[in-house]
């Protein structure tokens, strides 16, 4: 086939699969500043991998489909000796932008797979890596269910002592997962516990699930925690919904 024809077909395919993009609106309802972070797992790198969002402020970000990745909020951030650092969910880049680095647990996560051409998106709120702040994701438009999902509770107030991370003032600022705290297969769903048949809710994951019933509380918490939407919706992500 002629090289010019191949090039033209490549452009057509790129346009066809990249024509759809979703607008993500971030709103911070927390009474403090949040620094959202983004991590691309598949698809094009986003135009921002981290930014500042003051209390009651909003910001938008276009996400081209197909795409998969994570969003989260960092808290209590500041520059220390020239390095940008956060008390919770820091990405370790030393900058406001995360530049391809993910959240350091514990962190409340929004996980999303955005389909091409109005196909079925999958999204969830995950506490598998612990909790640092309440958040939600709400489709705007779309077809076929398109329910919002959230973790609206402040789990830090119910966090068992052995999972607590405390700030400089002695208050609880994040809650570890049992996997992070104890690194045992039954909590991490690894080894002999690496399947839905052998890894079950624990006393710790039940605390997370009791506070936030829609969120993933452990690795195989799929039935009540995975949500879908088709038709190319936009999305609203809210911190402290």
pLDDT tens digits along 116-161? 988 999 999 999 999 999 999 999 999 988 999 999 999 999 999 9
- Assess if residue 227 is contained within a domain: yes
Mean pLDDT over each residue of the chain, to the nearest integer? 92
Indicate if the pLDDT at residue 5 is higher than 50.
no
Residue 73: exposure state from Cβ atoms within 10 A (0-12, 13-18, ≥19)? buried
CATH of the domain at 97: 2.60.110.10
How high is the pLDDT of residue 206? 97
Between CA 127 and CA 151 the distance in angstroms is 9
Between CA 220 and CA 76 the distance in angstroms is 31
Reference 28, options 68, 67, 77; nearest CA is 77
- Assess if residue 185 is contained within a domain: no
Between CA 207 and CA 178 the distance in angstroms is 11
Indicate if the pLDDT at residue 10 is higher than 70.
no
How high is the pLDDT of residue 3? 38
- Assess if residue 8 is contained within a domain: no
Reference 110, options 120, 100, 124, 97; nearest CA is 124
How high is the pLDDT of residue 145? 87
- Assess if residue 206 is contained within a domain: no
- Assess if residue 99 is contained within a domain: yes
Q: Which residues lie below 8 Å from residue 107, measured CB to CB, with a gap of 6+?
A: 72, 88, 89, 129, 130, 131, 132, 174
Q: Distance between terminal CA atoms of the chain?
A: 55
Domain containing residue 34? 20-153+212-239
- Assess if residue 73 is contained within a domain: yes
User: What dihedral angle (degrees, nearest 10) is formed by the CA atoms of 41, 72, 132, 105?
Assistant: 30
Name the domain count of the chain.
1
Q: Which residues lie below 8 Å from residue 51, measured CB to CB, with a gap of 6+?
A: 35, 36, 59, 96, 97
Percent of the chain surpassing pLDDT 70: 92
CA 212, distance to chain mean position in Å, is: 15
């Amino acid at each position: 086939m002629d090289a010019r024809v191949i090039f033209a077909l490549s452009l057509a395919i790129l346009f066809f699969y990249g024509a759809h993009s979703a607008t993500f609106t971030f709103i911070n309802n927390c009474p403090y500043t949040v620094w959202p972070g983004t991590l691309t797992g598949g698809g094009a790198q986003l135009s921002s991998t981290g930014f500042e969002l003051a209390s009651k402020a909003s910001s938008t970000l276009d996400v081209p489909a197909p795409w998969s990745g994570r969003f989260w909020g960092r808290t209590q951030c500041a520059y220390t000796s020239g390095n940008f650092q956060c008390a919770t969910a820091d990405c370790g880049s030393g900058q406001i932008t995360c530049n391809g680095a993910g959240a350091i647990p514990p962190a409340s996560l929004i996980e999303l797979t955005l389909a091409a051409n109005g196909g079925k998106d999958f999204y969830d709120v995950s506490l598998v890596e612990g909790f640092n702040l309440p958040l939600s994701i709400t489709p705007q438009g779309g077809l076929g269910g398109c329910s919002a999902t959230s973790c609206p509770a402040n789990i830090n107030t119910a966090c068992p002592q052995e999972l607590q991370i405390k700030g400089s003032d002695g208050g609880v600022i994040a809650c570890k997962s049992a996997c992070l705290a104890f690194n045992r297969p039954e909590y991490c769903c690894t080894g002999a516990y690496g399947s839905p048949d052998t890894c079950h809710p624990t006393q710790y994951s039940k605390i997370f699930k009791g506070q936030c019933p829609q969120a993933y509380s452990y690795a195989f918490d799929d039935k009540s925690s995975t949500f879908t939407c088709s038709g190319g919706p936009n999305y609203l992500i809210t911190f402290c919904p």
